[in-house]
Amino acid sequence: MTAPKRTPLFDAHVASGAKMVDFAGWEMPIHYGSQLKEHEIVRSDAGMFDVSHMTVVDISGSDAKVWLQKLIANDVAKLGFEGKALYSGMLNDDGGVVDDLIVYLTATGYRMVINAGTTEKDLAWMDKQSAGFDVQLQVRRDLAMLAVQGPKAIEKVCAVKPALAEQIQALKVFQGLPSGDWFYARTGYTGEDGLEIMIPADQAITFFNELKAAGVAPIGLGARDTLRLEAGMNLYGHDMDETVSPLQAGMGWTIAWNPEERDFIGRKALAAQKAAGVPMKQVGLVLEGRGVLREGQKVVVDGQEGIITSGTFSPTLKHSIAIARVPASTGATAQVDLRGTLTEVRVVKMPFVRNGKKVFE
């Protein structure tokens, strides 16, 4: 067993009273005293998450664009200007999800952000697929990454970085702003507005402390999970993996089918699934009575079975919610096996919460 790795912000977490846990091989803060309070801060004000355990990969070379057009299911040709971002699955030949990622167009090529727990597997896969292409991959372990999220997130970052305030405020969602070695992206994983900021590792603690002084609360992984679940956002290894197609994981919108001649990895398998009729789909489940929906619980619909892939008690809604993969024929209701009792739940379109408010019918 190797000791968990530490991000450049480890000392700042400890100084802020964090409870540290092993997450995907990294020593990360689960909370700083109260997961519930931290969740509410992000929904009402501004909180910051250390996401430096995720991996930034810079991609360059004369074939970078055509290689990415083969590697991922979405099409980087859509990236029309420097800083523009795209969400995509990276698929295997069977159409399963190797990872989900964000890729940005940069002045020197592309920048990709991949998940912490899949980094070694992803890099090996990308290296294998680069054979025959003029493409170079540079893993940026010299960078830290902080996500500042919440209705007051941008305002508070601008207070710390006044010289960039106008440019940061002008960013649209899924746009990034390079500024020297720093990169500000209007993206996030909470269902709130905010930024994900890549910064030189040796400047991370200073920036963390400046944000803290400006009233941005440190937030742990516990609240990150309840926030993303309320926002209906997938978590790799739970809501999808290499055995699950994006068509079954609510990621159909991330597949760029046109132009038809772009033969991305997994395309043939996905096209065959689509033609045959995809047997399962992703939905939201709501349990307004007692009980908590949890990952792994069985979902029953007309004698057919599905499964909850993520479930929790929603701090915003004050009842249980879940993401589930269910038979394609599922309608407005389903039943979940709660400790041996089939309990009726509502089937809804996600997200559950956006900008702090309930959004489903």
- At residue 178 the predicted structure's pLDDT band, cuts being 50, 70 and 90, is very high
Name the residue type at position 1: M
Helix (H) or strand (E) holding 144: strand 143-149
Q: How far apart are CA 350 and CA 284, in angstroms?
A: 6
The pLDDT tens digits for 309-324 are: 999 999 999 999 999 9
The pLDDT tens digits for 192-230 are: 999 999 999 999 999 999 999 999 999 999 999 999 999
List the single range of 124-128, 150-154, 286-290 with lowest mean pLDDT.
Answer: 286-290
Contact residues for 182 (Cβ-Cβ < 8 A; gap 6+): 197, 198, 199, 200
Q: Tell me phi and psi for residue 266, to 5 degrees.
A: 95, -5
Q: How far apart are CA 320 and CA 292, in angstroms?
A: 5
- At residue 78 the predicted structure's pLDDT band, cuts being 50, 70 and 90, is very high
- Tell me the H-state helices in 140-254: 153-160, 165-170, 204-213, 221-230
Side-by-side strand order, sheet with 136-139: 85-91, 97-106, 109-114, 55-60, 136-139
Tell me the CA distances in angstroms from 192 to 40, 128, 167, one per residue in order: 12, 37, 20
Q: How far apart are CA 257 and CA 236, in angstroms?
A: 23
Query: Facing residues of 357 across strands?
Result: 354
Q: By three-state DSSP, how is residue 220 classified?
A: coil
Is the pLDDT at 361 greater than 90? The verdict is no
Taking the alpha carbons at both ends of the chain, their separation in whole angstroms is 48
Mean predicted confidence (pLDDT) in 53-62:
98
Helix (H) or strand (E) holding 6: strand 5-6
pLDDT at 88: 98
Mean predicted confidence (pLDDT) in 127-142:
98
CA-CA-CA-CA torsion for 306, 308, 309, 313, nearest 10 degrees? Answer: 170
Which tokens sit at 140?
Answer: 């940026």
Which tokens sit at 17?
Answer: 């009273």
Mean predicted confidence (pLDDT) in 277-296:
96
Is the pLDDT at 1 greater than 70? The verdict is no
**How many other β-carbons are positioned within 10 Å of the β-carbon of residue 127?**
11
pLDDT at 333: 97
For residues 168 and 159, the answer to whether their CB atoms sit within 8 Å is: no
Q: By three-state DSSP, how is residue 237 classified?
A: coil
Mean predicted confidence (pLDDT) in 50-76:
98
